[in-house]
Chain A
Amino acid sequence: MSGSVGHKRAYRSPLREEQAARTRQRIVETAAALFDRQGFGGTTMTDIAREAGVSVESVHATGSKAALLLAAFRHALSGQTQWSSMFEIDSVKQVFEGVDADDALDRVVGFLVEGHARSARLVLEFRNVAATDPLVAAEWADHMAFRCQGYRVVADWLVGLGVVAAPASDREMAVLTATLSTIMSAETYVQLTSDWGHDADRYGAWIRRQLRAAGTGIDA
């Protein structure tokens, strides 16, 4: 992410740094709210500045609009903006503390219900804007690399705990990973809760059943 302020300064004031971090957080939160409400295309840097009560310069110093979209999504998902891997997120770490299949499923469902409620629409906006905006496309490609890497670990972990049946081949494992990722995705969450009107409980129950049954029979 470009243009973070203050790192070249010799003397660092803790007070000023705290203030800068708070301003940055407000800008990212405001950007998230506006992108969600007005879409990426319908939001200007000036809108973000006005709504956050800061100067347009401060918004630009926090990052480009494309970088703000990535930061907004990350913040909405995790409450943290500065991570380079899914596994640095506290709520993700907690999921992996699951000790057996049932405990793991509870944690996965809890994470998905909360995380998607905050960030699913931003993910879809992110994907769409990436299809038409090269700068956002680069951020999206980075995010996809994290996501795929993350889901490979998740798939191994779910197989290890016996939530999902062990695949018979490398090809089955690749398909299983893609399938698990699709089941747990923001895209699927939006389809079920928004298009089909399922509530959080029904969505959670669906996730449990689908994960338990995932990936059977591709090479059968």
Chain B
Amino acid sequence: MTDTKRAYQSPVRTQQAARTRARIVEAAAVLFSARGFGGTTMGDIARAAEVSVESVHATGSKAFLLVEAFRTRYLGQGGWASVLEQDSVQRIFAIDDAETALDALEEFLVTAHGRSADLLMQLRSTAAVEPLVAESWAQLSRLKSESFLETARWMIRIGIVREPVEDVAGLAATLNVVMSAETYLQMTRDWAMDEATYRATMRAWMRSARP
């Protein structure tokens, strides 16, 4: 965000700035999860991150911080435009054996949702009332649809989904429901499923998914 016009860049200063930014985003993630978007101020984030309010504003608006906090928690790094471009996701899509792929998918769901499911829900409900967040949410939703279409094609190709499927877009929507944060929260929290049972349930459901 800053520094683009500076001719000389100090590596130390750049590294320090990146660390400060990471601390701000993580403080935002913690506070938004615990108090919600409406219950969190930029001052709260500054205090929790032990930086000035100006530094928080320089990182981005509150709406941006909510999106960035989700992105960072979901994939371990922020700033991405598409899930498909992320190394961790590309590594999974490079697998062509169904069982190995299911292992990787289970692991991904448990890790990513464990860190970010609450934030996703905050993001969704904030988007319903905050126009700035609504824009980012619409963009994320489009990316989500694209990446699940890609996921559906890949799961058919490597034989995770065994039954023949004509309606690939329909299968993508089902896979989205199965693999969603919403489903993770219902299974693990509402139904108090332990991790092993959640994994087994996901595995069976991804295999038998239909449009």
Interface residues of chain A, those whose CB is within 8 Å of chain B, are 37-39, 41-42, 121, 124-125, 127-129, 131-132, 144, 147-148, 171, 174-175, 177-179, 181-183, 185, 187-188, 190-192, 195-196, 198, 206, 209-210, 213, 216-218, 220
Contacts and interface: CB of A to CB of B under 8 A. Distances in A.
Smallest CB-CB A-B distances: 5 pairs: A41-B38, A187-B182, A178-B191, A39-B129, A132-B36
B92 interface: no
A56 B149 CA distance: 50
The binding surface of chain B is classed by DSSP as helix
Interface string B135-171: 0000001001100000000000000000000000010
Given A128-B125, A129-B36, A198-B173, A187 B183 contact: yes
B77 interface: no
Q: Is the interface of A mostly helix, strand, loop or mixed?
A: helix
A32 to B, nearest CB: 14
B6 interface: no
A170 to B, nearest CB: 12
Interface in B167-211: 170, 173-174, 176-177, 180, 182-183, 185-187, 190-191, 193, 197, 200-201, 204-205, 207-208, 210-211
A216 B176 contact: no
Given A131-B121, A147-B190, A187-B183, 10 more contacts: A41-B38, A124-B121, A129-B36, A144-B190, A174-B197, A181-B186, A187-B180, A190-B124, A191-B180, A198-B173
Contacts of A179: 201, 205
Nearest to B169: A196
Nearest to B137: A195
B55 to A, nearest CB: 25
B211 A209 contact: yes
B95 interface: no
A192 B204 contact: no
A220 B125 contact: no
Interface in B88-144: 118, 121-122, 124-126, 128-129, 141, 144
